[in-house]
Amino acid sequence: MSEQAAAHRPYPELTWQALIFGALLGVIMTSAFVYVGLKLGFGLGGSTVAAILGFVVLRALGTGTIIENNVAQTIASAINVSSSGVIFTLPALLLLGEDFSWAAMILSATAGSFMGVVLIIPLRKQMLEFDRLRFPSGMAVASILRSAGGGKNKALLLGIGAAISGSVLVLIEEVNVLPPSLAVGDWLGIPAYTGTALSLSIMNIGAGLLSGRGGLPFVFGGVLAWWIIAPAAVSSGWIPPEITGDKIWGELYFEMLRPTGIGILIGGALAGVVAAFPAISAAVKTLSSAAKLSGKGGAEELSAKTLGFGLSGAVLLLYCASALIVGPMLAFPVALVGALWLALAGMIVAQATGMTDISPLSGMALIGVTLMLAITGGQVAAAVLVGVAVCVGIGQCADMMQDLKTGHLVGGIPRRQQLAQIFTGWLGPMVAVGTVYILWHRFGVDANGVQIPGFGPESAACVNKASDCLSAPQAGALQGMIEGVVGGNAPVDKYLGGGLLGLALGALPTAGIGVLVGLAMYLPFEITLGYGVGCLSGWFLEAKKGRAFFSEKVVPLAAGFIVGEALTALVLTGITMIAG
């Protein structure tokens, strides 16, 4: 091919290679991460891995452009995101010994996956263009994708950042020479129940660096929760006398601050919807006007009409899944309330992720399950069915928005990314639910024909402390919450009080304060403090050194912090799994 012809060849973007590579990688990561989640209790993100592997594999196939690689990582993470949603919810049903239809669970997770994507697409303009949310992980992935052409200095800073955060994680997890957090509170003589410690997660600090001044209300919320409200609660005698020492922190966190934080998150988000209504309405109007330009090559977004069809189909799918469990009549309110909750929770999670990189997924699933228990009169299977859809859906909301942020920074066409996510996202639920099914049935039935549990603390492997024990800690947590709700112990007073407080915070002129304050109460203080150190440093550097310095030096370094810890965690997890 002549040089001139080479210069005019079509630019590879949404290619078969990207589709197949992204889908294969997504399927592999989903099944692997479901296993990891059942064993270790945490989910893993796949975008950074996919972006790095994409360069290697797609370039070996002769393409591997920046934007094609972005499509591949969009597909891989769209599939993989289902793993976190499924492992938090579905195994709880198995541990509770409930009867249910596996087909209904696949339908529900698939409905959630579609719904999450189509619900959040109209908010792309509002979150990315009007509000300019930072989505730190999306910025980190964009830094990886752009590293080839961003100049040696940026690539070097990215590498240095990754090396620092990866090394710190190894020193904490493997060499054990560093603690997971610094006991700052002990040094300052602050009571231990405030949990005043500085997490040494460099990824967390990196997310704070990228968020800068915008993340400071989150830190303010943490300070208020743990340095004002917690000591006031202790001195008011709210801690039962039998709870002493380290257990006071747990009582404060799990019984008082966390449920109040969930309430504030919800109230803050509701107020945010009202306050952002003009922006959302403007976003939908500009979406419609963009669609009208399609004949002139202006179709850079999926049209509102297409999204409407997608949403209707997804709600119908959730109705069918619900009907399989609760019958056709009760399935109406279940599907309707489930879809409404998914929409609100998806906005909360996307906004929280955009502002802080932290996703309150479990809290949102808990509220979804609580709502469903109330609607169905305590039918646990129906409640978890909707919980599966909500968890998968809100994961998709955050992932889609994060991928669109990356796409904006590398110049991808949103419509192509949206189509890629819609057409491949359904694979994730099938693989994740299928993997749970296989793992649950791996020991077959006993002599009496009774199913032997494949995971959970009661499974033979865990009772015998075998290396293939999958204790499913996240599902155990949801199981405990469901038992509490069914037993009438849901902290509705704290949800209500927190909700009203969140609504009041919506009156402030700055958007998102309620979500940030709620998130700060929802999380342990050590995460908030580490993130706060990053925010203050980012704000200071941007103010003192200027925007160009921030963009040239701080962004690649902070992106390296995020990427290095994510990749090292993945490698260490792989080693742990192989070593049993």
Between the CA atoms of 148, 150, 155 and 157, what dihedral angle is there, to the nearest 10 degrees? -160
Minimum distance of another protein from residue 554's CB (angstroms): 12
When asked if residue 383 is in the footprint of another protein (CB under 8 A), the reply is no
**Of the candidate residues 52, 409, 515, 519, the single one contacting another protein (CB under 8 A):** 409
By CB under 8 A, the residues from 236 to 255 that bind another protein are 238, 255
3-state secondary structure at position 61 = coil
**Strands 181-182, 198-199: parallel, antiparallel or unpaired by DSSP?**
antiparallel
When asked if residue 416 is in the footprint of another protein (CB under 8 A), the reply is no
Residue among 109, 122, 19 nearest 426 (CA): 109
* Euclidean distance between CA atoms 84 and 72, whole angstroms: 20
Nearer to another protein, 461 or 523 (CB): 523
By CB under 8 A, the residues from 9 to 28 that bind another protein are 9-11
Choose the stretch contacting another protein; rule: CB under 8 A; options: 41-49, 140-148, 201-209, 325-333. Answer: 140-148
Nearer to another protein, 151 or 308 (CB): 151
Distances in whole angstroms, Cα of residue 54 to Cα of each of 48, 118, 492, 562: 10, 26, 47, 18
Minimum distance of another protein from residue 147's CB (angstroms): 10
**Of the candidate residues 149, 189, 295, 444, the single one contacting another protein (CB under 8 A):** 149
Minimum distance of another protein from residue 156's CB (angstroms): 16
By CB under 8 A, the residues from 422 to 481 that bind another protein are none
Work out the burial of residue 517: count CB atoms within 10 Å of its CB; fewer than 13 is exposed, 13-18 middle, 19 or more buried.
buried
**Of the candidate residues 97, 151, 378, 480, the single one contacting another protein (CB under 8 A):** 151
Choose the stretch contacting another protein; rule: CB under 8 A; options: 142-150, 314-322, 335-343, 437-445. Answer: 142-150
**H-helix or E-strand spanning residue 12:** none
By CB under 8 A, the residues from 280 to 309 that bind another protein are 281-283, 285-286, 290, 300
By CB under 8 A, the residues from 195 to 234 that bind another protein are 220-221, 224-225, 228-229, 232-233
Reading the block at residue 464, the tokens are 């015998």
- Residue type at position 232: A
- Residue type at position 578: I
DSSP code string of 300-360: -S--HHHHHHHHHHHHHHHHHHHHHHH-HHHHHHHHHHHHHHHHHHHHHHHHHHHHHS---
By CB under 8 A, the residues from 474 to 503 that bind another protein are 488, 490-494, 496-498, 500-501
Minimum distance of another protein from residue 215's CB (angstroms): 17
**Of the candidate residues 1, 6, 447, 578, the single one contacting another protein (CB under 8 A):** 6
When asked if residue 516 is in the footprint of another protein (CB under 8 A), the reply is no
Residue among 333, 401, 319 nearest 371 (CA): 333
When asked if residue 279 is in the footprint of another protein (CB under 8 A), the reply is yes
Minimum distance of another protein from residue 488's CB (angstroms): 6
By CB under 8 A, the residues from 531 to 560 that bind another protein are 547-548, 550-552
Minimum distance of another protein from residue 22's CB (angstroms): 18
Number of neighbours of residue 460 by Cβ within 10 angstroms: 14
When asked if residue 7 is in the footprint of another protein (CB under 8 A), the reply is yes
By CB under 8 A, the residues from 63 to 122 that bind another protein are 65-67
Half-sphere exposure of 36 (CA within 13 A, CB side): 23
* Euclidean distance between CA atoms 439 and 464, whole angstroms: 17
Token look-up 């589709």 returns: 19
